[in-house]
Amino acid sequence: MFRNDQPQHADQLPPEEPGHAPGRRSFLVASLGVGFALAAHPVVAQVITTPTDGLVAGEVKVPTADGAMPAYRAMPDGAGPFPVMVVIEEIFGVHEYIKDICRRYAKLGYFAIAPELFARQGDPAHADIKTIVTDIVPKVPDAQAMADLDATVAYAAATGKADTARRGATGFCWGGRMIWLFADHDPALKAAVAFYGILGGKASPPTPIKPKNPLDFGHDVKVPVLGLYGGHDDNIPPALIAEMQAELKGTASEIVVYPDAPHGFFADYRPSYRPDAAHDAWGKAQAWFKAHGLA
């Protein structure tokens, strides 16, 4: 039985089909939905809404080898070029919460863009939680996601509004794990921030389409990554976070733990939201990017 405040996350997903490997696939999602994902309802009252005044915001299409991938982009209404913030979604897709994250960064002066990385496998915004965690999210190959993130950066560069030499990335839940992989994949990132992303361990063994986890390579990542985790995260136990902290010793990356916070503490549209931890984490994320030349 799934509860809205504790939906099954990427950490808890069933294993992928044996031998399933990345390949060319057509897009099942041609455009983004409106509002919050179906599986995320009911949305709680404290939800944060960032207005579009002073911004250029809306859906765009990112060219990839397989066709046009939908994405949400928000940036200041000005000449630019602006530093880039790649925003990586949770398991619910690029729904209203992720769009609002883009607008929050645009208000800070970024060209913020969130690609729909699930678009070939299905539409999590209009699916029930069972479909999301069995038929969509676990079937996205890491290599496919990295190629799509590269395509997103290339799209941003082609607009003439983005300074991709100053690019960062942030991600949440499923996207938190992707942040560590993207930082390992793209050494040109200036900095990255991961919110409660899966780290690895016995519960997350390697698979053909997900061959490694952050614990396998954290000590080698040259991009400075700030990890923001909850001490009461049922999906990522404190021992695993401590193991990752040890892995990061001597690197430019670090992890901050909010002892009383659960998984999803930054998600203001859900009961898991913790305002104090979220406010502090948002400040730390901004400071992290600024310290590494992105503001």
Sorted by where each starts, the structural domains of the chain and their CATH numbers stand as: 48-291 (3.40.50.1820)
Q: What amino acid is encoded at 219 in this protein?
A: H
Local structure of residue 94 (DSSP, 8 states) = S
What is the model's pLDDT at position 217? Answer: 96
Least Cα distance to 262 among 43, 36, 11 occurs for 11
Mean pLDDT, all residues of the chain? 91
Residue positions annotated with a catalytic role: 173, 233, 263
- Cα–Cα distance measured from residue 119 to residue 167, given in angstroms and rounded to the nearest whole number: 23
C-alpha atoms less than 13 angstroms from C-alpha of 150 in its C-beta half-sphere: 13
- Tokens 């009461």: give the residue: 232
Q: Are the beta carbons of 195 and 228 closer than 8 angstroms?
A: yes
Q: Are the beta carbons of 163 and 178 closer than 8 angstroms?
A: no
Is 16 a residue whose pLDDT tops 50? no
Paired strand residues for 256: 228
pLDDT tens-digit profile of 44-82?
A: 988 999 999 999 999 999 999 999 999 999 999 999 999
pLDDT tens-digit profile of 125-149?
A: 999 999 999 999 999 999 999 999 9
- Cα–Cα distance measured from residue 293 to residue 84, given in angstroms and rounded to the nearest whole number: 11
Q: Are the beta carbons of 72 and 59 closer than 8 angstroms?
A: yes
- Cα–Cα distance measured from residue 39 to residue 59, given in angstroms and rounded to the nearest whole number: 21
What is the model's pLDDT at position 39? Answer: 93
pTM: 0.91
The stretch 191-215 carries a mean pLDDT of: 93
Confidence tier at 18 by pLDDT (50, 70, 90):
very low
In the chain, where do the E strands start and end? 55-64, 67-76, 82-88, 111-115, 162-172, 191-195, 225-232, 254-262
Q: What percent of the chain has pLDDT over 90?
A: 85
Tokens encoding 201: 């361990």
